[in-house]
Structure 1
Amino acid sequence: MTYLKLFFVFFKVGLFSFGGGYAILPLMRHEVVDINKWISFHEFMEIVAISQITPGPISINLATHAGYRIAQTMGSTIATFSVILPSIIIMTIIVVFLKKFSDLPVVKRTFAALRITVVGLILAAAVALFVKDNFIDYRSYIIFASVLIGGLFFKIGSITLIISSGLAGLLLYYIF
């Protein structure tokens, strides 16, 4: 594996992952696990979990952790830089031209289409994460259901849910 290939794979992920965050998961998994087979699906899911609880944007954290697993420090640096580079280029172009063209109907329709695309990508990521390998036993289902109910119905914040899940895991797996 060359660093150049690593650069192009993560550049492509950054270029075509509209919406960032969770929308990046399906494409990154496809490239890193399915096509290039640099890491296993199980390792990828561990990286996703670590990236979710690490401060910062999940897409950058994911690229950083995956790059490190693939090629240590240099891989981490290349993956992180190459996944954000398309955003830097695109945002620079958009800032220059959007003010001039933002009122055009075609621009408005394009952004409306991108919004629904992002919703679809996030839903695809959620479905991809809902696999048996992510559930150890009945206790993990209890934690999952509690977080889902707490987030959807009681509007509990993500920080509270993360801390509560960690404490629940500690209690359920090491004390009881």
Structure 2
Amino acid sequence: MIYLQLFWSFFQIGLFSIGGGYAAMPLIQNQVVDLHHWLTLTEFLDLITIAEMTPGPIAINSATFVGIQISGIPGAIIATIGCVLPSCIIVSLIAFFYFKYKELTIIQGVLGGLRPAVIALITSAGLSILTLSIWGQNGFSWNISDINFISVILFSTALWVLYNFKPNPIFVMLGTGVVGGVIYLIT
């Protein structure tokens, strides 16, 4: 019975948490703390902290941690599947209808209108990451002492290698990560 409750609770969270992981936090709190009393509010706040620090989407991390807390590894698997399944169903339906009706003029118009927005979102995320890596948490600054020159050199070198030699970008990222890790360990 607990597995069904875990699955259904996180299925609802996955279905109605539009806007990302942080938008799901009130839904998770409602299900986990208020409705089912699986965790106390203090435990829930600890869960948020752990889910933020762990790589991956915060809602899925939260589902996994709640599942482990309530019912061990099987609970973690059930809660995680419940959280992910609505997105899988929705994306599969969208893909089905896209491939079925992709030749329609209106669909092409909608997708054509979405492309600039997607490019803008990707560019914004890239600039945020670049700003964070070069200037740190404080953001852009005209003060030259705030610049992380190691990051600038690593980024410039990776860009140069990608442009001139056209290797697999994954290898460039891995190589830059290893070189950066070694440099930061030395300094």
Q: TM-score, normalised by structure 2?
A: 0.54
Q: Which runs of 4+ in 1 moved over 3 A?
A: 98-104
Q: Distance in 1 between matches of 2:60 and 2:87?
A: 11
Structure-2 residue corresponding to 1:83: 83
Q: Distance in 2 between matches of 1:92 and 1:54?
A: 27
Give the 5 Å matches for 1:72-151.
72-98=72-98, 99=102, 101=107, 103=109, 151=137
Q: Distance in 1 between matches of 2:72 and 2:108?
A: 43
1:72 to partner: Cα distance: 1.3
Q: Which runs of 5+ in 2 are unaligned?
A: 115-135, 141-145, 147-187
Structure-1 residue corresponding to 2:139: 154
Structure-2 residue corresponding to 1:61: 61
1:102 to partner: Cα distance: 6.2
Structure-1 residue corresponding to 2:46: 46
Q: Structure 1 residues 97, 33: closer, same or farther in 2, change over 3 A?
A: same
1:59 to partner: Cα distance: 1.4
CA RMSD of aligned residues (A): 2.7
Q: Distance in 2 between matches of 1:77 and 1:17?
A: 19
Q: Distance in 1 between matches of 2:20 and 2:84?
A: 10
- Does the residue aligned with 1:92 lie in a helix, a strand or coil? helix
Structure 2 letter corresponding to 1:47: L
Q: Which runs of 5+ in 1 are unaligned?
A: 109-149, 157-176
Q: Deviations over 1:2-55 (max 9, x none)?
A: 211111111111111112321111111111111111111111111110111111
Give the 5 Å matches for 1:8-23.
8-23=8-23
Larger RCO of the pair (alpha carbons < 8 Å, separation 6+): 1
Q: Distance in 2 between matches of 1:65 and 1:35?
A: 17
Q: TM-score, normalised by structure 1?
A: 0.57
Structure-1 residue corresponding to 2:158: none
- Does the residue aligned with 2:39 lie in a helix, a strand or coil? coil
Structure-2 residue corresponding to 1:169: none
Calculate percent identity across the aligned residue pairs: 44
Structure 2 letter corresponding to 1:154: G
Aligned length: 114
Q: Deviations over 1:46-88 (max 9, x none)?
A: 1110111111111111110111111111111100111000000
